[in-house]
Amino acid sequence: MLKKFMGDPSLIIPTEDIGIKDSLSYEDIPVQILDRRVRKLRTKEVASVKVLWRDQFVEEATWEAEEDMKKRYPHLFESGEVPN
C-alpha cells in the first residue's frame, strides 16, 4: 500500500551548486586495442579493431573501424604492434 509523501523543500539542492553540464554527456576513453580483423565485402575490405574502453570489462569491448580509431586516438597505434 502506498502512503502519501510530503516533500521537504529544505532538502532540494540547487543545480548551480552541483555543477551539472547542460549536455549531460561524458567522453569514453579507449584503453587498449585487443584484436584486429579484416572483413571482406563484395567490393572492398574493412579493417576493424576490438577496443577496450575505460570502465568496461573485456567482454564488453566493441568492434570499431580501424581507420576512425587511428584518426581519433593515434596514441593507441604508436607502439606499431596491433594484435592479429
Write the pLDDT tens digit of every residue in 20-73.
667 777 778 899 999 999 999 999 999 999 999 988 899 999 999 999 999 999
What are the residue ranges spanned by the domains of the chain?
Answer: 27-84
Pairwise CA distance, residues 64 & 34, whole Å? 11
pLDDT computed for residue 81 by the predictor: 61
Please give the CATH architecture assigned to the domain spanning 27-84. Beta Barrel (2.40)
pLDDT tops 70 at residue 18: no
* Global pTM value: 0.63
Its sign, for the CA torsion 64, 70, 72, 74, is positive
> What's the pLDDT at 19?
63
Nine-digit cell at 19? Answer: 555543477
pLDDT at 55: 84
